[in-house]
Structures are given as C-alpha cells and as structure tokens.
Amino acid sequence: MNETTGNAPDSSGAVVHPPIAWVLAVGGGLVLDRLYPLPFVPEMVPGALVGGLVFLAGLALLVWAAMTFGRAGTDIPVNRPTSTIVEAGPYRFTRNPIYIGMFLGLIGFSVVFDSLWLLILLVPFYLVIRYGVVAREEAYLERKFGDVYRAYKTRVRRWL
C-alpha cells in the first residue's frame, strides 16, 4: 500500500503501453496502405526527406525526454512507479514530450511512405494516448504528488 495513493497501485494503470499502440498504428497503416493505397504527398515534395526530418525531430524529442527522465531517476514505463515530477528538459514546455515525439514519428512515417492511412490512424492513436494513457497518468500523478503536480499542471501545458 502506498501512503499517498491509498489502495491504488503505484502506477498509472494505462490501458496500453504507448510503444505498443504506436507500433500497432504504424503496422495497421502500412497494411491498409498495401491493401488500398491512399497517397497524399504531392509529387514535387521530396517525401522521404521531409518525412524523414519530421520523424527524426520526433525521435530527437523522445530521446531528449527519455534522457531527462533517466537523469531524474524515474521510470518511463507506464506500469512502473513514478518517483518524481520531472520539470527539466522538454518537460519545461510540455507535460508529454514522449507522446508528442511519437505523434511526430507517425506523421513523418506517413509522409515517407506517402500513406494517408498512417495519417488517418494518428487520430485513434491520439485518442488512445490521450484518454487511455495521459488521463490515467494525470490522475495517478495528482493522487501521488498532490499540490506539487497540480502546480506543475498550471505552469506547463499538456501538449504545446
């Protein structure tokens, strides 16, 4: 039993591990694209370059956020306890830089593969992350850290 969370488990209780949801969105988009291609990138746009840059920007943000968590000594997986509220690095600007990195990665892949399906699947991926992961994480952090987390929420936006 955790003193600050009562009988609740010391984790967010997210409905899915975000990397699994991301892989399912990418895999599903690529399968759908194979069955029924929906290209959307204009021919004059160098899709591999533009999409690759967007993907790399998302990956860089994700790595920066993960390294910041590591330096703070707290766990990243949603099924593990959080030991502190991280306010450094990208967490000064957004409470969810890892998920923003995943969104950018999916957008980048959609451009690289010229697949509207990948872009379409960004919507259900976002909904799963927003309501099945982030909402549960926020409730957990508020239970565990109380006013410290509420103050952080007032200073830093959920997304951007």
HSE-CB for 55 with a 13 A CA cutoff: 16
**Does 39 reside within a domain?**
no
Q: What is the reported pLDDT for 14?
A: 87
Q: What is the reported pLDDT for 75?
A: 81
**Does 26 reside within a domain?**
no
CA–CA distance, 62 with 44 (Å, rounded to integer):
30
Q: What is the reported pLDDT for 8?
A: 63
**Does 139 reside within a domain?**
yes
**Does 16 reside within a domain?**
no
**Does 36 reside within a domain?**
no
**Does 37 reside within a domain?**
no
**Does 69 reside within a domain?**
yes
Q: Residue 76: which domain range?
A: 47-155
Report how many domains make up the chain: 1
**Does 81 reside within a domain?**
yes
Residues of the chain with pLDDT under 70: 1-8
Question: Is 106 in contact with 122 (CB distance < 8 Å)?
Answer: yes
Q: What is the reported pLDDT for 11?
A: 80
